[in-house]
Amino acid sequence: MGSLQNASAIALGSNLGDSLATVEAALETLAQTPGITLKARSSWYKTKAVGPPQPDYLNGCAILQVEIKPHLLLEALLQIEQKFGRVRQERWGARSLDLDLLLYDDLILDTPNLQIPHPRMRERAFVLVPLAEIAPEWVEPVSGCAIKELVKQVDCSNVYLLS
């Protein structure tokens, strides 16, 4: 990934309303955000929800080239979530749109509001499967492992390519 300056990886998810329309529109909104260029996007995957009983999720990942700092990128992601009706009620509850900042170059950041790499990404097949599709060689800086290696360490049996 060294060729991309300020490359960032994000995860997208939705399991309320017209999830496909929502995640597609969210990507479009991201691509139109100043300081953000959409470089790559994964296929969409259907995955079983984690947490309280709720509908299956639609998940995917995107690679962005960003000219903004990580905290501003997080702010942009939160604003887009709100635009699409995200209400934060219960932890791991159903949501119209979930945008997670996974990676920002090879930065390791730990602040009260933002952790990069995303602290749970290495445990989540619904993140690693689509990310491995578009950024298999990207090295997750905490583990030192490439995404294509990390995806082999998780159970991917509940992640299905959306036909």
Cβ contact 122:150 at 8 Å = yes
Query: Which stretch of 53-57, 75-79, 143-147, 153-157 has the lowest confidence by average pLDDT?
Result: 53-57
Note the pLDDT of residue 2.
Answer: 41
* The CATH number of the domain covering residues in 7-161: 3.30.70.560
Note the pLDDT of residue 93.
Answer: 62
Q: How many CA atoms lie within 13 A of 140 on its CB side?
A: 25
Element (H, E) at 26: helix 19-31
44: confidence class by pLDDT, cuts 50, 70, 90: very high
Domain ranges of the chain: 7-161
d(CA 63, CA 77): 13
Catalytic residue list: 86, 95, 98, 100
